[in-house]
Structure 1
Amino acid sequence: MAGIIKKQILKHLSRFTKNLSPDKINLSTLKGEGQLTNLELDEEVLQNMLDLPTWLAVTRVYCNKAAIRFLDKVEVEMRTCEEPRPPNGPSPIAITAGQSEYGFAEKVVEGMSVRINSITIKVQARAFHASFELWQLQGNSLNPKWQRSDLRYTRITDPKRGEVLTFKEINWQTLRIEADAIEGDDHDLGSTPLRLITNQGRIRIALKRRIKDCNVLASKLLFILDDLLWVLTDSQLKAIIHYAKSLSEAMEKSAQQRKSMAAESLQTAPPSPGLHNLWTEPPLPPTSLPSNLSQYFDVFDVKESSYHTFISRLDLHICNDSSSVDEGL
């Protein structure tokens, strides 16, 4: 019995991994439990699922242990791209299921909730290298108003448009960020590491896919933090500006690539919305509730890809390097 179950697991998960074999699967058929160990995930598959911008490429993803609905420790390595990499491909979930359209396999996977004890994301850029460490992550599918509900209401499908909207939220208990200049890039910044530790936070993600091939048409990401206290020296502030400039050219090239591949969606970006419009309670049409599915789709539609950050309160202190500053945040 265990052998049959392992074959089914291999059949469905081999598309997502590089080194999955029967010896990495531990099963207890009596307890109904299963565990996978030492998995290296397919970085291209992850890029396609997350719709990452083409100025950023995943180079390695490793997970030491995975159980049903639970991951222990995940390591992700990325690099920035001076020239945009090829655009993201179709959904790997649909390909694995032998289908081309958004269907049952996508709905099952998107309906799963995930818990991760810790995740480390390392980013290598031309001017700096950075790491993001998050603890106690949870990922869930929510309804368009970012509330838990029946899974049937966590997506909006409009057959006339041939598009589907889905809504995810990832939250965590602690986030630690570190960044250092690449040696030799700027001597003045080489000894100016940046460090930031925050408590609870969350990311809300809305994805718009094409039904016929599951390709992501647009995505919207909102990074939310509550109160944030950050003490910076003037050299650290200089480092932040330097790092941002080093990324701006690559990000601009990626944006131009995306626009050229979706010329029909070119339009002037709307002004930055206030908090009340950032996916909390989107305004309904003037005439009460939407009268049909297309109007309801319009209310929550993702017109174009965008990325936002909201911090409810930022307490920023900037000091001279000669000052004595306690940075143990």
Structure 2
Amino acid sequence: MKFYETSFKDYIEAKNKHNIHKKNEQINNMENTIFYGPSGTGKYSYVLDIIKKFSNTNLKYEKKVTCTNDKQEHIYKMSDIHFEIDFSLLGCNSKQIWNDIYIQINEIVALRQNNNCIIMCKNFHKIHSELLDLFYSYIEQGTSNIYNINIYFYIITEHISFIPYNILNACNNVSIQKPKKQEYVNIIKNVCNYNKYKKKIEVVLDNSCIGNIKELYCIDSLLDDTQIDIFNIINNNIINFIVNFKNNPDYLQFRELLYDILTYEIVIEECILYIYSYFIENKLLSEEQINILIQNTHENLCYYNNNYRPIYHLERMFYKIIDFYNRS
């Protein structure tokens, strides 16, 4: 998302001006849908463009709504047809604030002539685990509730591996892929043509007064290069520390390595899978240890990010591997 674009209309106009998704999904009916893809692929603008089809005002109507309960206040945006909830901003009391927001949305839509609406769930991959367990019940209520309205969910997420099967089966799945290098090149050319630059692109990009295009050009030149993979670096550092823990039992350093998972917002489930796979595939753990490890991990994930700080559960899980590895 671009910080200077503050309205629905701005996002849609920017998408139409430089569209990197030529093959848009033909979604002509309101249905529960999951839109997933890597960060920075234009998922939000893509979904807004679809929602525009169902808006009588073409999303020109925009308003902010405040939901307040005993513990916190949450502000979200709405149009004549949809509501936007950012799940990364709901906080630790997300179950209660989400329920209050959902009831408030029902009350708002019940007063309208058009009793259909869409709830856009942004950053769904950052949903609290306790709320995720209950979320399917809200999807079920969407078309069969006491207010006699129809609520459809447009879920925007970077991945879907964490989403329960009941939610996946209740929604259509739309994959939004990362644009190819040539599409980025075309955007640069379109920007230059739009601004009526007469010189060659290389000459224009040397001009310091057009820094944005210069940034695009620099990004384009790096698209073919191998990028630093933070995910693999952090996980490999943790694996190396576990393997060498007996010779260098530095508890503070290990905590710093685990904090990197939180700092870079790495998906904990994928991190666990990567590290566990290393020890299992290399036969560094016995079958009995693997079974205990999986059971211990399940228990910790149930409480992960609840009540205690996340680092507490990360340490409990990974110190178990250290214990088993040093026994073998």
- Relative to the length of structure 2, the TM-score reads 0.24
Which structure shows the higher strand fraction?
Answer: 1
Give the structure with the higher percent helix: 2
Larger Rg: 2
Q: Give the number of the structure with larger relative contact order, counting CA–CA contacts within 8 Å between residues 6 or more apart.
A: 2
